[in-house]
Every structure is written in C-alpha cells, then in structure tokens.
Structure 1
Amino acid sequence: MKLLPILAAALVLAAPVSLLAQHSHKPGTAAHPHQAAGETHAHKSPHGGIVRTAGKYHVELVPQAGQVLVYLLDANENVLPPNRATGTAMLLSTAGKTTTVKLTPTGDHFVATVPAGTTLRTAIVSLKANGSSLSARFEKLDAAPKASKTTAAAYACPMNCEGSASTKPGSCPKCGMDLVKKS
C-alpha cells in the first residue's frame, strides 16, 4: 500500500509536463494535437481577431464594419496564402437570420461581405486547403469588441504581473509568459 501514494504523487507531478509537451508550437516538435475543432486557448491573434483551432491549422476571424476577414494560419500562427484554398462563412445575425457568404481571396487573407444592417452573433468558417476540409466556429461576436485598425487591443500577463500591460502581443517583461488579450 505504500506504493499507491508514491504513484499518485508521480502522476500529479508529471501531468503539467505532459500537457506542455502536447501543446508545443516550436518547429521540429510533435504535431499540434488538439482534441476539439474550434478550441481556443492562448493563441496569438496576429491581426487583432479571434483565433480557433481547425485540424492542424488555425483560423483567425476579424469582424469589421460590413465585412469579415479570415486568415488561415499554420500551427505556429504564421499566415498561409489563400491562393490554394476556397471557403464559405455561415453567418448568424442577432435577429436569428442565417446567411452563407463566399470567402474571396484578397492578398494574404479572405474577405466576405456581411449583409447590410446585420449584427453578427456567430460565424462558422469552412475552408478547403491543401486537401483538408477545415471548420471553425466563432461565437458571441456581438459581445466581442469591434476590431479596427485605429483601435489597439490591450494585452496583459495571465499571471497579472505588474508592468505587463501592452498595446500589442508579446511576452511579459517579468515572468516571460505570452501576453493575452484582455476581454
């Protein structure tokens, strides 16, 4: 019976290490093994939007007045060119109306026009890229702050370190953790 407490302690100590190992973004490490499509967690938001996991990729949605921008990102949150991808976005308004719009490749991202007078509540982005079908769901868009080029997002350390507040993503000057967007 003395072995049971030792085994339990070893499992507790090993759990955080194994979780970190499973979620590595460093090149040359194990694949990006997410359990659920659309999962959200401490991802960088290169364009000030909302990032969700979609298979081995990430999708960033940036809602703007009259349109949504969609960026396809690799496992390290680097933008992938949309030239070999196609997609649609199903948009649900706060009035309960659903509209499906085509995503048009423009530069390094996709653009979709939001019908006039529509306040978005949910967007489901479906992409076909590099032989893979990807899907990401973005909810509570009507509660999210509106993204724009003139509005800077506020970032802070998840450990609430003093002096960590920033207008852009980065790392905490005190503890080194990635800054996260304040809600």
Structure 2
Amino acid sequence: MKIVRISFIAAALFALVPLASQAQHSHKPGTAAHGHQAAGESHAHKSPHGGIVRTAGKYHIELVQQASEVHVYLLDANEKALPLDRSTGTAMLLSTAGKTSSVKLTPTGDHFVAAVPAGTTLRTAIVSLKANGSSLSARFEKLDKAAKSTKAVSAAYTCPMNCEGSASDKPGSCPKCGMALVKKS
C-alpha cells in the first residue's frame, strides 16, 4: 500500500513538472503575466510588423519573411523595435530542399535585413543576435507552411516622408517620425 501511494505521488509530481517550468513575465506593470515554456517559443501576442515573434531572454525577436529577404526586429518587452547601435547578427537558413546557408544580418534603420539565396523556400531560420551586451537567439520553424497560409498583403499605407520601415496594411503613425500614414494611390 505504501509503494502504491509513493508511486501515485511521484506520478502526480511528474505531471506537474511542465507547469512548473513555464516562465512567467509581464509586458507592462499591472498587466496579467503570460507564460512561455522556453526561449524561442511562439509568442502569444500579435507581431508589430506582421511576422513571427519568439521570446529571446528579456527581449523578443520578430522575423518577417519576404520573397527574397528576411527582416529581423529586436523588440523590447512592450514589443517596440529597439535601436541597433553596435548590434550584430547572423541567420542560419534551412531550405525545403535541405540546403543550409548562413547569412549576415545587416542593420537597416530599426531592423536587420538579410538576402535569401535565389530560388530558396525557407523551412527554418535560426537567428543569432549580439545586442545590449547579450547574446540572443531564436528558432523559427515551419516557415514554408506559414508563407503558404498567409496572404500576400501589400502595404496600403506609408509615411508621407517615405521613412524606411513605415509601410503598413492599416492606418496609423510612422514608427520613425510619428507622422500619420497616408493611403497609397
């Protein structure tokens, strides 16, 4: 009887281990926390630039996939793009054909950009950044399925000052200069 009771308690503890391993954090003081199982896990919030967001330590990394390039944003806890002063990065890209390539991420305004080799359909991208004294990484998988399931949305709104990174599919304000976005003609 004692062995059965100990076995039952052990089974109950093993069942609770995944719940105990989830890290909780809050984006703003006074808001409800949400759980992430580990760095690099899918993020529960909308992505500010229409990509995929993963947790990376106290930061977030967003990957936006376009036809011939990937855009990578380093985001703070409030999901605002951080300045890339003295930041560097690389991305390991795996194609659906099983080919792997390493590309350098080039800082461009408030984000990084890397060219995707011609004719490549991405399956996985592993992004590694060095920023603010931290080494960060995130893994983005099933990109080929995500690309097929998302409709191609052309940016209908842009900044009248033509600020880089201001294109959006909805009205709002420019992340660079703050001016109201205008509808493209």
Q: Flag structure 1 segments of 5+ consecutive residues without an equivalent.
A: 1-20, 153-166, 169-183
> How high is the TM-score relative to the length of structure 2?
0.65
Partner of residue 150 from structure 1, selected from 132, 150, 154: 154
Alignment-derived partner of residue 106 in structure 1: 108
2:176 aligned residue:
none
Give the structure-1-normalised TM-score.
0.65
Residues 54 and 64 from structure 1, CA distance in 2 versus in 1: closer, same or farther, beyond 3 angstroms?
same
Residue from 124, 130, 133 that aligns with 2:132: 130
Q: Is the 8 A contact 1:86 1:129 kept in 2?
A: yes
Matched letter for residue 41 of structure 1: H
Provide the aligned C-alpha RMSD in A: 2.7
**Which among 27, 42, 45 is matched to residue 43 of structure 1?**
45
| Alpha-carbon distance in 2 for matches of 1:41, 1:125 | 15
What 5-or-longer segments of structure 2 have no aligned partner? Answer: 1-22, 157-168, 171-185
Q: What's 2:72 paired with?
A: 70
The code of the aligned residue for 2:59 comes to Y
- Residue 95 of structure 2 aligns to which amino acid in structure 1? S
Question: The residue matched to 1:142 in structure 2 has which SS?
Answer: helix
Displacement of 1:138 in angstroms is 0.2
Measured in 1, the distance between the counterparts of 2:128 and 2:121 equals 20
Corresponding residue for residue 117 of structure 2: 115
The equivalent position to 2:90 in structure 1, one of 88, 91, 97, is 88
Structure number with greater CO (CA < 8 Å, separation at least 6) is: 1
Q: Aligned-pair distance for 1:53?
A: 0.3
Does the 8 Å CA contact 1:93/1:118 hold for their aligned counterparts? yes
Question: Alpha-carbon deviation of 1:27?
Answer: 4.0
Alpha-carbon distance in 2 for matches of 1:114, 1:25: 32
How many residue pairs were aligned? 134
Percent identity among equivalent residues? Answer: 82
C-alpha spacing 1:148/1:70, structure 2 compared with 1 (3 Å): farther
Cα deviation, residue 39, structure 1: 1.2
Residues 37, 131 of structure 1: CA spacing in aligned structure 2 closer, same or farther, 3 A cutoff?
same
The 3 A distance-change label for structure 1 pair 148 and 68 is farther
SS for the counterpart of 2:145 is coil
Structure 1 range deviating more: 59-68 or 21-30: 21-30
CA distance 1:47–1:148, shift in 2 (3 Å): farther
72, 96, 99: which one aligns with 1:97:
99
SS at match of 2:89: strand
